[in-house]
Amino acid sequence: MQVLRRGTSNVADVVRKAVYAPGRRSAGTHSDALARMRWPLICTTNYDDVYLRAAMSQAALARRRDVPRVRGRSEDDCRSVLQQLALPTGELLWCLQGFLKPEPFTVELGKKKALLDVLDSLAPGADLSSEIVLSHSEYRSVTHRMPHFRRCFSEVFRSRSLLFLGSGLTETYFRSLFDEVIELVGPSSRPHFALVRKGSLDREFMRSHYHTMLIEYEADKDQGHSEVGAFLDGLVDADRAQRVRSQAWGWKVPRTTAPVSGAIDRGDATPDFTIVRAPLLLRRSALRPGDIVGVSCGRKLDRPMPGSATSDVLKKELEGEPTWRSDYLVSWAGSEAWLRGIVARDPDILKSREARSPGAVYAAFEQFLDDAQRANKTVALVQLLAAGHLKTFESWMSLVQMARAYGRWAQEQHAKGNALLKVVVYLYRDDDVLALMNGGYLDIAENLEDAPMRLFLETIDVTGRVQRQHWMIEASKSLRDVSSFGGLSSSPAIHVLPVPGKGVEPVPFRHIADAPLSSLGLVSGSTLVADYRAASISAAEARASAT
C-alpha cells in the first residue's frame, strides 16, 4: 500500500484487478443465502459488490425494484445510517472500509434477462473507492481521525443486535471500536451473535466482555466453510416459518362530542381502523352484508389497471372493463354493490409512475370512504394503495396517508352524527411495512388523530456543515412558515427524504416557498433538507429553468 500510495497508480483500479476475478464472477457465494432475508442494515468490511449483486438479483426475481442503498464513512453517509436506525426502511449497506465502483450485470428472469444497474445503489456523485483502507496504519487513521464515524458505529453497536459473519473478530480493528464504546457508554443491552470457526475465539471472553454469543462450526477437511451455508439456509427457513407474532393491529377513533353526563359508553369495542397481516380475499361469496372491497389500481394513460395478482382473481369474478366513477375511483358492471378500484394517481398527470404521490393516496382514499359511506356500507376491506412492485415511494408512506385520511374523515362523520364506516387494511408481502409495525416505528394513532407532522429539518450550509432540528407542524403550513427557512437572503435547494416519488429532484426554495408542506410529499417521519451548497443550488436552478 505504501508503494501504491506513493506512485502514480490508481489504487482503486489495482485493488479491483486483485479482487474481481472475471472467471469467477458468476460463482455462488454465501451472500446468495444471506440475501434471501431482509436486513435493514448490513455493515461490511468488504470492498466488493458480491452481497449487493446477490440482494439485487433476489429483488429482481421477486419482481421488486428495491435497491440496497450503499453508504460510506463520510458525515453525510453516517447521517444516513442514523436515519436508517430511526426509520429502518429498505436495505442500507454500510461500507466501513470503502467500496469498489460496481458494474452493471444481467440476471436470468425465466426466459428473459434483466440488466441491473448497481450504480443506482450509490448516492449521486459518490465515489467510495477513495475510502478504501487496507493496512493496519490506515485502519488506525480512520478510527482515530473520524469521530463522527466512531460515534455512528457506537450507536449501531448499542442499539441493534448484530450477527457477525466472516467479519474477522480476531482483528484489533474491530476490538478497538468495541472497547471504546464499552469504555465510554457501557456494554450493549442487546446481545450480539457471531458465526465462527470452532476454537478461533474464546467463547467466555466474547460473552462477558462484548455480550457476543458464539455460534461455532467445524471447518471442512480442506478448511472450507460449507456449514456456514447450511446455517444461513436454516436461518432463512426459520424466519419464514410460522411463529408467534402480531397478526393484527387496531385503533378506535374517539368522538369529538362529549358523552351524556353519567352515561356508560356501551359502544362497539371493535376497532375503527385495523391493519391485518394477510392477503385480501377477493371473492364475493366471502363477504358479509355491508362489506365493500377496495383494490389498488394503477393507470396506463387513462385506463385503470388492477395489479397483476388482483387481476388474476378478478377475472374469475368480473366481466368487462372498469368505468370511472370519479377522479380516483372505478367500478365494474355488476359489481358496484361490493367492489371499487382505487386509483391513487394524480389525475392531471398521464404517466402512471410520475402521477404517484403520497398526496394522491390521501385524496383517493378519502374519496373511497365518502363513496362507501353514501352506499351505506359498514366495513371496508382495502389493499395498501400504491405499494406494488413498481412503487415510487416507500410503502409505509401510503399507510400513513391512509391513516391520516381516515382520521380526519372519521372526525367529520362524528361531527355530523353519522355512523362510522370501519376500515380493515390488508398487508401482504409488504415486508418493510410489517417490519416497521412489529418494531413500533410507525405511530398509527398519531396519524389517525391527524396530529401535526413530526419532521426533521436539515440545513446544509456552503461548507457542508449540517444543522438538524425537530419540528411539529401542520401539514397545511407552507415552507415560509418554517422559521428556519424564513427570511433567507439566498435560496437553498429543497428536497425530501425519503423521496416521495419517481424523478423528484431538489427545487429552489423560492419556487415552492408558499406551497403547503403536504404538497411536497412530506409525512410524519420525513426529513426536509435545505442545501445551500452552490452545486446543489445551480443544479436545481437549471432544472427549474428547463421546466
Per-residue pLDDT, 442: 87
Query: Is residue 486 over pLDDT 60?
Result: no
How many CB atoms neighbour CB 519 within 10 A?
14
Residue 162 clears pLDDT 90, i.e. is over it: yes
Give the C-alpha distances (Å, rounded to integers) separating 49 from 132, 163, 228: 14, 20, 20
* Beta strands 291-300; 466-473: pairing state: unpaired
Is the per-residue pLDDT at 318 higher than 80? no
User: Which of 239-253, 306-320, 479-493, 524-538 has the highest mean predicted lDDT (pLDDT)?
Assistant: 239-253
pLDDT digits (tens, 9 = 90+) for 246-274: 899 999 988 765 554 444 454 567 899 99
Identify which has the larger pLDDT, 337 or 105: 337
Which pLDDT score, from 0 to 100, does residue 518 have? 72
Query: pLDDT value at position 25?
Result: 64
What mean pLDDT comes out for the span 392-405?
Answer: 88
Mean pLDDT calculated for residue range 472-496: 74
For position 260, what pLDDT does the model report?
A: 47
pLDDT score recorded for residue 539:
64
The percentage of residues in the chain with a pLDDT greater than 90, rounded to a whole number, is 24
64-78, 276-290, 310-324, 520-534: which has the minimum mean pLDDT? 310-324
Element holding 113 (H helix, E strand): strand 112-116
Average pLDDT over residues 495-523: 77
Q: Which of 71-75, 237-241, 507-511 has the highest mean pLDDT?
A: 71-75
Do 523 and 451 form a contact (C-beta atoms < 8 A)?
A: no
The structure's pTM equals 0.84
Give the tens place of pLDDT for each residue, 198-250: 888 899 999 998 899 999 988 777 667 788 888 999 998 888 887 888 899 99
Name the amino acid, one letter, at 193: F
Task: Choose between 355 and 485: higher pLDDT.
Answer: 355
DSSP string for 313-376 = HHHHH--S--EESSSSEEE-TT-TTTEEEEE-S-TT--SHHHH--HHHHHHHHHHHHHHHHHTT
**Highest mean pLDDT: which of 19-23, 99-103, 277-281?**
277-281
Top mean-pLDDT range of 49-53, 187-191, 213-217, 354-358: 213-217
pLDDT for 502 equals 60
Out of 114-128, 141-155, 239-253, least confident range:
114-128
Express each pLDDT in 426-447 by its tens digit.
Answer: 998 788 899 899 988 888 998 8
Please, which pLDDT band fits residue 537 given cuts at 50, 70 and 90?
low
The pLDDT, as a whole number, for residue 264 is 45
Which of the residue ranges 127-141, 161-175, 366-380 has the most confident prediction, judged by mean pLDDT? 366-380
Helices 395-416 and 358-374: angle between axes, nearest 10 degrees: 40
DSSP annotation string for 250-318: EE----SSPPPTT-------S-SEEEEESPPP--GGGPPTTEEEEEEEEEETTEEEE-HHHHHHHHHH-
Highest mean pLDDT among 302-306, 332-336, 434-438: 434-438
Question: Over 70: is that where the pLDDT of 320 sits?
Answer: yes
Neighbour-count burial of 186, counting CB atoms closer than 10 A to its CB (0-12 exposed, 13-18 middle, 19+ buried): exposed
Is the pLDDT at 139 greater than 70, yes or no?
A: yes
**Side chain identity at 518, as an amino acid letter?**
S
Long-range contact pairs involving 76-84 (C-beta distance under 8 Å, separation at least 24): 76/123, 76/464, 76/466, 77/123, 77/126, 78/148, 78/149, 78/151, 78/152, 79/458, 79/466, 79/468, 80/123, 81/41, 81/152, 81/156, 82/152, 82/155, 83/456, 83/497, 83/527, 84/40, 84/41
Task: Select from 468, 494, 536, 524 the least CA-distant residue to 78.
Answer: 468
Mean of the per-residue pLDDT values for the chain? 83
| Mean per-residue pLDDT, 522-533 | 82
Quote the pLDDT of residue 366.
96
